[in-house]
Structure 1
Amino acid sequence: MGENDRRLVPPISPMTARTVDVPPRAPGLAYEAKWDGYRVLLFARADAPHLQSRRGTDLSPGFPDILRAAAELGEEAVFDGELVVIEEGAVNFSALQSRAQRTGRRAEAAAAAHPAHFIAFDLLQLGDETTMARPYRERRALLEEIFTRHDLQPPWALCPMTTDPDQASEWLDPAWGAVGVEGMVVKGLGQPYRPGERGWRKLRARATAEAVVGAVTGPVTSPDALLLGRYDADGVLRLVAQSAPVTNVLRREIGRMLTPAGADHPWTGARFRSGWGTRDILDHRCVVPDRVVEFEADVAFDEGRWRHPVQARRVRAELRPDQVPKFGEPDPG
């Protein structure tokens, strides 16, 4: 057997992308839709199907529906792709997270209630051949052939791809974020697949929004980061976002405007995690919620909150807290 004729064994470190600010435009590039789900490698094998997370964790127990589809494919292959749960025409990240935590009968019940989809965008092995040394254009052609040959239906899905940068730029419209497309990944048509290498490029769709400063980390007079909230229909201030470290200019400006809050602040004694899915608790200081800031965020939005840290851009001194959209309401386009 040659170098490219061996069975891949999990875990494998997937090829990844570095973030860029401007869509690259050059001959020989392919653009894929970037989905808001779990990056996974799917080992389609009748005897031992396997689902691996980006960091190598075995996700198989939580997704028996995907394992069955992999076992029943009819040929051996290893796919790279995104795992999502789609409900009412949009990605439901919370349902995906919940499914990943279930096993056994609870996993089967969750699969029936919240079916998952595997969105394939690359091919690492087909039959006895390890295809990673092949250029992307050939791997993509083989991937499309598999979908055609087996007439694959849900839970299988083929990731949209184009070589037209203008068409791909549509995926940067925040409107796509409402259905779960959070941007694009750019790959060279001649690129091989190199595990662990940050050889691709990615852009996330971003939009601006407003929220009320409810608490800070660091000193109130010179905050490191902002905890941002919106009022719900009952008038309760709810956390919607945590900012990345603010710029020195904004730190000085907003530090002069903030006032430490008293014990009657709605977030007094609250415990906020430092990130989505983490257990670390933030050391925050409540402030009087009378200042509005504008921030820039990607479209990873779930249950009324932005999952990733946002970039606070400026104070909106002309806006009152009651002029900010309510918790759970869509932002104006």
Structure 2
Amino acid sequence: MTLPAPVAPMLATAGQPPTAPGWAFEWKWDGVRAVVAVDAGGVVAQSRNLRDITSSYPELRVLPDLVVRPLLLDGELVTLDDQGRPDFGWLQSRMHAARPRPELPKSHPVAFLTGARTGSFTAWGGLNGASQQVQALRWTVT
């Protein structure tokens, strides 16, 4: 499987928050931003610098079983502590392991968080087979 033309993930920018209606803000997850392409044939993950990071996160291998058509997802790879909070220290043990030892994903598993159609973040969110190009859709809060 190959990704379509490289797509950089959307990244936060510093500045004063807007005060006008119609704006929403994304939580800082303390993870690794990634664009993940998935279809029935496999999964490919790219970093914010468009580097292939697929082999670093074997947990992503389950994604092809969850989709009915190809998807390109912009999201965040995170490790969560026992209370569901992001743990960047745990993630650091995963970030530079090109081929992690089998025990590492078991002791420090990652979740892929991606914006769902409602605008909230959910683990493995957005894997509903939507066929629209999401870059053209307006992000709304419901």
Regarding TM over 0.5, the answer is: yes
CA deviation after TM superposition for structure 1 residue 83, in Å: 0.9
> Match for residue 99 of structure 1?
94
Aligned-partner Cα distance in 1 for 2:91–2:106: 13
CA deviation after TM superposition for structure 1 residue 49, in Å: 0.3
Q: Indicate yes or no: 2:117 matched with 1:131.
A: no
Query: Which structure is higher in RCO with an 8 Å CA cutoff and minimum separation 6?
Result: 2
> Match for residue 257 of structure 1?
none
How does 1:138-149 map onto structure 2 within 5 Å?
none
CA deviation after TM superposition for structure 1 residue 105, in Å: 6.0
Work out the percentage of aligned pairs sharing the same amino acid: 32
Equivalent of 1:16, from 11, 14, 18? 11
* Contact preservation (8 Å) 2:79, 2:111: yes
How does 1:148-227 map onto structure 2 within 5 Å?
none
Structure 1 counterpart SS, 2:73 = strand
Cα 1:122–1:91 change in 2 (3 A) is same
Larger Rg: 1
Task: Give the number of aligned pairs.
Answer: 130
Q: Which deviations, in whole Å up to 9, do the C-alpha atoms of 1:21-72 show, x marking residues without a partner?
A: x33211221222221111111212221201111111111111101x223222
Aligned-partner Cα distance in 1 for 2:138–2:3: 18
Aligned-partner Cα distance in 1 for 2:100–2:12: 36
Cα 1:83–1:10 change in 2 (3 A) is farther
* Contact preservation (8 Å) 1:39, 1:53: yes
Cα 1:10–1:111 change in 2 (3 A) is farther
Q: Which deviations, in whole Å up to 9, do the C-alpha atoms of 1:145-189 show, x marking residues without a partner?
A: xxxxxxxxxxxxxxxxx57xxxxxxxxxxxxxxxxxxxxxxxxxx
CA deviation after TM superposition for structure 1 residue 127, in Å: 5.5
Structure 2 counterpart SS, 1:16 = coil
Structure 2 counterpart SS, 1:30 = coil
Cα 1:105–1:93 change in 2 (3 A) is closer
> Match for residue 71 of structure 1?
64
Cα 1:122–1:54 change in 2 (3 A) is farther
RMSD between superposed Cα atoms in Å: 2.8
TM-score for both structures, normalised by structure 1: 0.35
Mind listing any 5+ residue stretches in structure 1 that lack a counterpart?
1-6, 138-161, 164-333
